[in-house]
C-alpha cells in the first residue's frame, strides 16, 4: 500500500515537473518579438507629388521618370518610381544633405527628349528609438529642397530641365501620410 | 532544449531518491510502533539558484553569443506559521541582447520579497512542499547600448551600424510576481526546488534615448507587453531552529 502510494507520488511529482518545464519552454519560445513588423513606424521616406505648373493644382504625372542619387558611388536607380502621381524617396540617414537627380523620358532613344534636374534635400536627421525589434529610426527635420542651379527661374533651360518650381508642404518628415514636397512642372 | 532536459533529470533523480528514503524511514517507524507524530521543523532555509549558475557556465562555452548571460541568486525562506513562509531572494545578473537592429546589455542587482503558502498535505515526517507565492521585486541596474542600426524600409542608401556606446546608470524597476513551485527534501535538511513565475512590471525608469531590454531579476522586456515569465531551480539547506508538534 505504502509502495503503491509512493509510486503514485513519484509519478505525480514527475508530471508536475514536466508541466513546469513545458510551460517555461513554450512561453520562452513564443516570446520572440525580434522581427520588426512591416507596419511599424520606422524611418519615413519623403513623399513627392507632381503638380501641373500652369494650373498649380492638377496632378501631372511625369513620363518615364527615373530617380537616382547624384553620388557617383551609387549606380542604382531608386526603384518603383515610374508613372505615379506621387513617389517615395529615401534620404540619407547619416548626412544632412541628399542630392538626387530626377530624369524624365529617362529611357528614351532620342537624347534630346531627356530632361534632367538635380535637387538638394537639406535637413537635420534626428534619431529616435522605436523598439527592440526595429532599433532606431530617423526623422528629417527642417527640410529644405533646392535646385542646384543658382536661380530656378532664370536658369531654367527648357532643353535640359523639367521641374519649374518646388513647394515644401511639410518641413518635418516624421510620417508617410501626406505629400511633403510638390514638384511643379 | 538539452539544457532543460538536464535540469529536469537532476531534479527527478533527487525526487525519486527522496521518496525512497522516506519509504525506508516509514517502514522503520511502523516496526518501532511509534505512535507519536513526528515533529515539524521550523527554521531558516537558505540556498542558491542552480539554474542561473548553469546558464552562466553554458553562456561562457557558447560561441553563438546571441545572449551572453551571467548571474547568481541567493534565496531564503523562513517558516513563520504552519504552511506560511516569508521568502526573499537577492541576486545579480547581466544579459547582452544582440538583436538584429540593436545590441543592449542590462546589468545590475535585484531583490524580491514576499511569502509562500504550502498547499501540499505532507505525510508524517515529510517536509516537502508544493507552494504558491507572491513577490514584490525591485532592481537597480544599468543599460548599455553597444550598437544599433537605423531601420529603413528602403535599402537604397547603405545604412551603417552605429557603434556609439551609451551607458546609462542608476535605472530602477519594480514588479510583482506570482510563483508556483515545488520543494523536495532529498537528504536530511537539503532541498531541491523548482518554480515558475509570472511577472508583471509595475514601474521602470528607462534611458532617455532608448529602452530597458533586460531588467535584472525581471528578465527580458517585451515591446508589447509588461508581462514576463521566469523560472528558478534551487538547492537549499534548512537550518532548523525549533521543532514543533503538528
So what's the pLDDT on residue A115? 86
CB contact under 8 A, A129 and B211: yes
Identify the sign of the CA torsion B159, B163, B169, B174.
positive
Say yes or no for a CB contact (<8 Å) between B26 and A2.
Answer: yes
Q: Is the pLDDT of residue B86 over 70?
A: yes
Note whether A25 and A50 are same-domain residues.
no
Residue B203 at interface with chain A, using a CB cutoff of 8 Å:
no
C-alpha cell at B196: 515558475
Residue A101 included in any domain: yes
Give the three-state DSSP class for B101: coil
Report which of B9, B242, B22 is spatially closest to residue B128, judged by C-alpha positions.
B22
How far is the CA of B196 from the CAs of A4, A70, B101, B120, B135, in angstroms? 29, 58, 30, 17, 12
A76 lies in some domain:
yes
What residues make up the domain containing A15?
1-30
Q: Are A6 and B100 in contact (CB < 8 Å)? A: no
Ramachandran region of residue A77, left (φ > 0), alpha (ψ -120 to 50) or beta? Answer: beta
pTM: 0.76
Average pLDDT over residues A26-47: 74
Q: Is the same domain home to A90 and A7?
A: no
Q: Judge whether residue B9 has pLDDT over 70.
A: no
Q: Does B84 touch chain A (CB under 8 A)?
A: no
CB within 8 Å: B8 and A45: no
CA distance B34 to B57: 48
Q: What are phi and psi of A33, to 5 degrees?
A: -130, 35
Cα A162 to Cα A183: distance, rounded to the nearest angstrom: 10
Is residue A15 domain-resident? Answer: yes
Query: Into how many domains does chain A fold?
Result: 2
Q: What pLDDT does A82 receive?
A: 58
Burial class (CB in 10 A: 0-12, 13-18, 19+), A184: middle
Substitution target from B156, B178, B231 for chain A, most A beta carbons within 10 A: B156
Alpha-carbon span B68 to B96, nearest angstrom:
5
Alpha-carbon gap, residue A141 to A174, rounded angstroms: 8
Residue B228 binned pLDDT confidence (cut-offs 50, 70, 90): very high
Check CB contact under 8 Å for B209 and A3: no
pLDDT value of position B90: 97
A68 and A108 together in one domain: yes
Q: Are residues A78 and A141 in the same domain?
A: yes
| Residue A138 belongs to some domain of the structure | yes
Instruction: Tell which phi-psi region holds residue A20, choosing left (phi > 0), alpha (psi between -120 and 50) or beta.
Output: alpha
Same domain, A9 and A62: no
Residues A136 and A73 in one domain: yes
Mean pLDDT confidence for A95-120: 87
Q: Is B83 helix (H, G, I), strand (E, B) or coil?
A: coil
Asked if residue A108 and residue A22 are part of one domain, the reply reads no
Domain identity same for A118 and A143: yes
Q: Do A94 and A174 lie in a common domain? A: yes
Chain A closest-CA separation from residue B9 CA (Å): 10
What's the average model confidence in pLDDT over B83-95? 95
Amino acid at each position: 500500500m505504502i509502495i503503491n502510494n509512493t509510486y503514485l507520488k513519484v509519478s505525480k511529482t514527475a508530471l508536475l515537473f514536466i508541466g513546469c518545464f513545458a510551460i517555461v519552454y513554450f512561453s520562452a519560445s513564443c516570446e520572440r518579438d525580434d522581427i520588426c513588423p512591416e507596419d511599424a513606424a520606422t524611418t519615413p521616406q519623403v513623399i513627392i507629388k507632381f503638380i501641373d505648373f500652369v494650373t498649380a493644382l492638377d496632378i501631372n504625372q511625369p513620363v518615364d521618370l527615373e530617380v537616382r542619387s547624384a553620388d557617383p558611388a551609387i549606380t542604382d536607380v531608386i526603384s518603383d518610381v515610374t508613372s505615379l502621381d506621387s513617389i517615395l524617396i529615401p534620404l540619407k540617414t547619416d548626412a544632412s544633405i541628399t542630392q538626387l537627380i530626377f530624369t524624365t523620358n529617362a529611357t528614351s532613344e532620342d537624347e534630346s527628349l531627356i530632361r534632367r534636374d538635380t535637387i538638394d534635400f537639406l535637413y537635420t536627421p534626428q534619431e529616435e528609438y522605436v523598439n527592440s525589434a526595429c532599433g532606431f529610426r530617423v526623422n528629417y527635420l527642417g527640410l529644405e529642397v533646392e535646385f542646384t542651379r543658382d536661380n530656378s527661374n532664370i536658369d531654367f533651360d527648357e532643353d535640359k530641365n523639367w521641374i519649374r518650381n518646388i513647394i515644401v508642404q511639410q518641413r518635418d518628415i516624421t510620417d508617410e501620410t501626406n505629400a511633403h514636397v510638390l514638384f511643379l512642372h | 532544449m538539452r539544457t532543460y532536459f538536464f535540469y529536469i533529470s537532476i531534479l527527478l533523480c533527487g525526487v525519486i531518491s527522496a521518496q525512497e528514503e522516506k519509504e525506508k524511514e516509514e517502514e522503520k517507524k511502523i516496526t518501532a510502533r511509534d505512535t507519536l507524530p513526528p515533529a515539524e521543523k521550523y527554521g531558516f532555509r537558505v540556498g542558491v539558484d542552480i539554474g542561473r549558475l548553469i546558464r552562466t557556465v553554458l553562456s561562457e562555452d557558447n560561441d553563438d553569443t546571441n545572449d551572453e548571460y551571467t548571474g547568481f541568486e541567493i534565496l531564503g525562506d523562513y517558516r513563520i506559521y504552519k504552511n506560511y513562509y516569508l521568502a526573499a531572494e537577492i541576486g545579480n545578473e547581466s544579459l547582452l541582447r544582440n538583436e538584429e537592429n540593436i545590441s543592449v546589455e542590462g546589468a545590475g542587482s535585484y531583490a524580491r520579497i514576499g511569502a509562500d503558502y504550502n498547499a501540499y498535505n505532507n505525510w508524517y515526517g515529510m517536509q516537502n512542499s508544493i507552494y504558491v507565492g507572491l513577490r514584490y521585486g525591485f532592481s537597480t541596474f544599468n543599460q548599455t547600448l553597444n550598437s544599433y542600426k537605423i531601420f529603413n524600409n528602403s535599402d537604397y542608401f547603405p545604412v551603417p551600424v552605429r557603434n556609439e556606446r551609451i551607458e546609462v546608470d542608476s535605472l530602477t524597476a519594480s514588479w510583482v510576481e506570482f510563483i508556483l513551485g515545488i520543494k523536495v527534501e532529498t537528504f536530511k535538511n537539503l532541498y531541491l526546488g523548482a518554480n515558475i513565475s509570472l511577472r508583471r512590471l509595475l514601474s521602470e525608469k528607462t534611458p532617455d534615448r532608448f529602452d530597458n531590454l533586460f531588467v535584472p531579476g525581471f528578465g527580458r522586456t517585451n515591446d508589447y507587453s509588461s508581462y514576463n515569465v521566469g523560472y528558478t531551480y534551487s538547492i537549499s539547506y534548512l537550518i532548523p531552529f525549533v521543532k514543533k508538534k503538528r
